[in-house]
């Protein structure tokens, strides 16, 4: 039972433009609340269409303690289901990916079609209604090669986001990409601390020396650099090749295309391309980075040669699974056009550095001397935006369910 009143009281304690009260970062009750109020009501980025290349392809993943199954059907449609058998609830597919002509429960062999309908259930009697025991669906949307799911039957508005994402991401041909590598690390910190860290670069010049070589770590809210003629030239070049650059944001999403550091073509250790076969070759591949951010849990950067996605999923009150996915052109050949080591080097280093920072942050937040501190209005505006969004979303849940 979620203590709605306690969560509402903690939200009310937060000073304006400050980070959160201690309990929202380390109280076990806050984990259950966040799963229901935030992850249970929001659109979540579940991955990419290219991870499901043929009928029978599936991806099984965890959202907190909730198992999810995403499957491509024989009709080509991608569907999402609760990864729970309709017999006695056993998880159907272990976390990971694969391919199967049917979905078969490992416990009692109940067998489902790829569209979720129950095909067979042994020894259940003549009066058993198979049609009443299909897998329970989860809402799913596919946009520009990306997949988004929502557990809520009344999800946040999606259409405006879909139109904008298609405009910004379609030139990168993510729908025709391939997953080159995926990794997950465990950070022993609350997911909100992980995400606040990922929403600001106040720490980047000292915390991420490698990333700082290519990434504009001195940027303000939406990578604004006031009066920088080089940035204006970049905007003009992008307009000339039909690439949008305006910083856009909805309630739970942000989009922008921004210039990288001078003489930099990609987010890499040396600023050069990591993949010889480009995903977007406009302007010779000199197109900066297209950034997508989705609250509550992810961000993505698409340069000309690759796409990197970061996702932070809560596992427990002080444990977060951070998953990175690297996409390349579907025809790029490993060992010829790229290597896994060089492709993943920069973001792997960055994620491990952030792991240390977030875990240290958690240790300090646990102190009896902790009090919420103010965000920098110049360097942490996106972190503030994230925390404001969290509080607003959580408060709506409290108002609706706390009566």
Q: What is the pLDDT of residues 157-207, one digit of tens each?
A: 999 999 999 999 999 999 999 999 999 999 999 999 999 999 999 999 999
- CATH 2.102.10.10 residue ranges for the chain: 44-150
In the sheet that 103-104 helps form, which strands lie side by side, from edge to edge? 103-104, 111-112, 118-120
Distance separating alpha carbons of residues 283 and 241, to the nearest angstrom:
7
Nearest partner of 6 among 31, 26, 19, 23, judged by Cα: 23
Round the average pLDDT of the chain to a whole number and report it. Answer: 96
Give me the pLDDT at residue 403, please.
66
pTM: 0.97
Mean pLDDT of 341-369: 98
CATH code assigned to 44-150 = 2.102.10.10
Domain 170-365 has CATH 3.90.380.10: yes
d(C-alpha 40, C-alpha 94), whole Å: 21
What's the pLDDT score for residue 230?
Answer: 87
Residue 138 has pLDDT above 60, yes or no: yes
pLDDT in tens, 65-119: 999 999 999 999 999 999 999 999 999 999 999 999 999 999 999 999 999 999 9
| Preceding omega of 157 cis (within 30 degrees of 0) | no
Residue 219: pLDDT band with limits 50, 70, 90: confident
Residue 326, pLDDT > 60, answer: yes
Question: Looking at residue 224, what is its pLDDT?
Answer: 58
Which tens digits make up the pLDDT trace of 249-292?
999 999 999 999 999 999 999 999 999 999 999 999 999 999 99
Q: For 1-21, what is each residue's pLDDT tens digit?
A: 799 999 999 999 999 999 999
């Amino acid at each position: 039972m979620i203590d709605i009143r306690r969560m509402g009281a903690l939200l009310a304690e937060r000073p304006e433009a400050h980070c959160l009260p201690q309990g929202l970062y380390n109280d076990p009750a806050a984990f259950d609340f966040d799963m229901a109020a935030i992850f249970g009501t929001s659109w979540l980025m579940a991955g990419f269409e290219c991870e499901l290349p043929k009928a029978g392809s599936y991806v099984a993943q965890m959202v907190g303690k909730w198992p999810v199954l995403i499957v491509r059907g024989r009709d080509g449609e991608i569907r999402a289901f609760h990864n729970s058998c309709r017999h006695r609830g056993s998880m159907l597919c272990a976390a990971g990916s694969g391919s199967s002509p049917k979905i078969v429960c490992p416990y009692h062999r109940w067998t489902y079609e790829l569209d979720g309908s129950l095909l067979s259930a042994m020894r259940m009697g003549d009066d058993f209604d198979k049609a009443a025991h299909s897998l329970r669906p989860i809402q799913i949307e596919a946009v520009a090669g990306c997949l988004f799911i929502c557990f809520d039957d009344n999800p946040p508005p999606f259409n405006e986001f879909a139109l904008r994402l298609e405009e910004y991401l379609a030139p990168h041909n993510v729908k025709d990409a391939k997953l080159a590598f995926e990794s997950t690390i465990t950070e022993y910190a609350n997911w909100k601390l992980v995400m606040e860290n990922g929403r600001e670069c106040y720490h980047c010049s000292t915390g991420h020396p490698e990333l700082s070589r290519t990434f504009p770590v001195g940027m303000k809210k939406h990578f604004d650099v006031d009066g920088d003629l080089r940035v204006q030239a970049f905007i003009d070049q992008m307009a000339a090749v039909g690439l949008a650059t305006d910083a856009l944001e909805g309630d739970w999403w942000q989009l922008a295309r921004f210039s990288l550091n001078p003489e930099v073509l990609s987010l890499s250790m040396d600023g050069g391309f990591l993949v010889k076969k480009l995903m977007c070759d406009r302007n010779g591949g000199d197109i900066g980075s297209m950034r997508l951010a989705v609250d509550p849990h992810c961000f993505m950067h698409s340069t000309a040669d690759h796409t990197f996605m970061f996702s932070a999923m809560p596992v427990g009150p002080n444990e977060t699974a951070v998953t990175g996915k690297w996409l390349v052109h579907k025809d790029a050949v490993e060992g010829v056009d790229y290597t896994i080591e060089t492709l993943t080097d920069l973001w792997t280093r960055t994620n491990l550095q952030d792991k240390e920072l977030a875990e240290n942050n958690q240790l300090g937040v646990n102190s009896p001397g902790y009090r919420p501190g103010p965000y920098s209005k110049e360097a942490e505006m996106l972190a503030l935006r994230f925390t404001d969004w969290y509080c607003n979303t959580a408060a709506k849940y409290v108002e609706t369910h706390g009566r």
